[in-house]
Amino acid sequence: MTPVDAPTAIERVFYPPSPEPWERRMLLSPLTVLSWPYAAAVHVRGALYDAGLLRAERVEGLKVLSVGNVNVGGTGKTPAVLHLAEQLVQSGRKVGILTRGYGRATREPLTFIGTEPLPSADVAGDEPLLLARRCPQVRLFVGSDRVASAYRARDEFGLDTVLLDDGFQHRRLARDEDFVVVDESVGLGNGHMLPRGPLREPRGSLRRATLFWLRATATSAAATPSPRLARGVDAVAQEPHAHAHQGDTHRWVPTGDSPERFADTLGGWLPASQGIPRVRTRYRPTAWVDPEGVLHPVTAMTAQPVLALAGLARPGGFLQTLRSLGTELREAALFPDHHRFTADELRDVQARAVRQGARVVTTEKDAVRLPQGFEAWVVRLGVEILEGESHLRRALGLEDAPRGL
């Protein structure tokens, strides 16, 4: 029987724990071929922006902070956006979030704020709805045209700062800062572009970043900071055409036996990036939220049997969080990222939970897609800054602001 927290098929392809044997590389070679035209299109588009033939539009009088990544899904971008929004609000800024609203049923642009009646997840998307609920003072702008949203934020609502959610590839809107979120536990995965690997852009695009937001693993976050050099990292980085080593897929995945902290060199991905500041963070559970919306301490579900319900790109982190909270993980109902749960699927989940004598538990992002009346306990996450807070405050323009942490 497959373990309940075993990696999904996509995770096994994108984030292999060891070098792939040639038989596996041959089996996946059709995906490699499909990745070539995608990589070529990304390269051409990036070259046009770099050459100034495509130009980013600047909205004067509006500070734009982009938060994005190069991996597809599951790096921890939404908690980062939420934390940044909270810090900006606490400093007295008039803040908005510009987001596409992935997975929603309409393309009509809309705006809302958490202190007013909220649209459904089908209309707004799950992540915008989560952000509005958690940070109700921030105005959300949902739509594909982020430039138009930026002008609207400035002209209609008098905002002075916006967070460009998932903005690293959205180069049409000029930004003051480019934060790139990286999950230390997986790095750049197998180093391939989509659909063979998790990369939306080649790793060289990380040079555009103005700040790296590193999500530390649970074990590395507890380690004592050390400036030790990584064995083998420099050697890999200095190899000719190191980025083209398709067989050595494990080289871009951080390993637990490396003697160096991942944050010091980003696992050797970008040896020329020493001048780009890093902020190292830890995501940790701060509370359980029961079906009535009441907050409970993180110990509330210790030794309790649970069934995990999630529609995430990489659900492994959520399942590990449940184990770290001491729950008895009986079963998991896992779906694709941003999945719209059907009534039949939810009835099946409830029936399985009853058979297991377990409570259904889920993530905050999944909870906003559940119908009213569906009983599930929700894990609430918070962000802790481990290192580089001064870099973060400088990038946010908060050097002289009172500290919110």
pLDDT tens per residue across span 45-55: 999 999 999 99
Burial of 79 (0-12, 13-18, 19+ CB in 10 A): buried
70 is in an annotated binding site: no
pLDDT at residue 254, as a whole number: 46
CATH 3.40.50 positions along the chain are: 63-215, 284-382
Q: For the residues 390-405, what does the mean pLDDT come to?
A: 77
329, containing H or E segment: strand 328-335
The mean-pLDDT minimum among 11-25, 154-168, 217-231 falls in 217-231
94 is in an annotated binding site: no
pLDDT at residue 246, as a whole number: 35
Query: Which of the four pLDDT bands, split at 50, 70 and 90, describes residue 264?
Result: low
63 is in an annotated binding site: no
Question: Using alpha carbons only, what angle is made at residue 206 by residues 14 and 397, rounded to the nearest 5 degrees?
Answer: 125
pLDDT above 70 for 257: no
382 is in an annotated binding site: no
pLDDT at residue 239, as a whole number: 33
Mean pLDDT estimate for the chain: 87
pLDDT above 90 for 327: yes
pLDDT digits (tens, 9 = 90+) for 118-170: 999 999 999 999 999 999 999 999 999 999 999 999 999 999 999 999 999 99
In the numeric block, which tokens belong to residue 150?
């930026």
pLDDT digits (tens, 9 = 90+) for 22-40: 999 999 999 999 999 999 9
Looking from the CA of 206 toward its CB, the CA atoms found within 13 Å total 29
Closest CA to 38 of 199, 170, 189: 199
pLDDT at residue 275, as a whole number: 82
DSSP percent split of the chain into helix, strand, coil, nearest 5: 35, 20, 45
Question: Using alpha carbons only, what angle is made at residue 183 by residues 384 and 26, rounded to the nearest 5 degrees?
Answer: 165
pLDDT at residue 367, as a whole number: 97
Q: Which CATH number fits domain 284-382: 1.10.10, 3.40.50, 1.10.600, 1.20.120?
A: 3.40.50
pLDDT above 60 for 250: no
Angle between helices 77-90 and 126-134 (to 10 degrees): 30
Query: Which of the four pLDDT bands, split at 50, 70 and 90, describes residue 274?
Result: low
75 is in an annotated binding site: yes
Closest CA to 183 of 6, 43, 320: 320
Q: Which residue has the tokens 């941003």?
A: 338
Closest CA to 24 of 245, 313, 249: 249
Q: Which residue has the tokens 């035209």?
A: 37
Q: Give 296 or 223, the one with higher predicted confidence.
A: 296
Question: Using alpha carbons only, what angle is made at residue 313 by residues 310 and 316, rounded to the nearest 5 degrees?
Answer: 65
pLDDT at residue 5, as a whole number: 62
Question: Is the CATH number 3.40.50 carried by domain 63-215?
Answer: yes
Q: For the residues 96-113, what does the mean pLDDT come to?
A: 94
72 is in an annotated binding site: yes
- Rg of the chain over Cα atoms, rounded to whole angstroms, equals 21
pLDDT at residue 399, as a whole number: 75
Q: Give 42 or 223, the one with higher predicted confidence.
A: 42
333 phi and psi angles, rounded to 5 deg: -110, 100
Neighbour tally for 371: CB within 10 Å = 10
pLDDT at residue 100, as a whole number: 94
76 is in an annotated binding site: yes
| CA distance linking residue 109 with residue 385, whole number of Å | 34
8 is in an annotated binding site: no
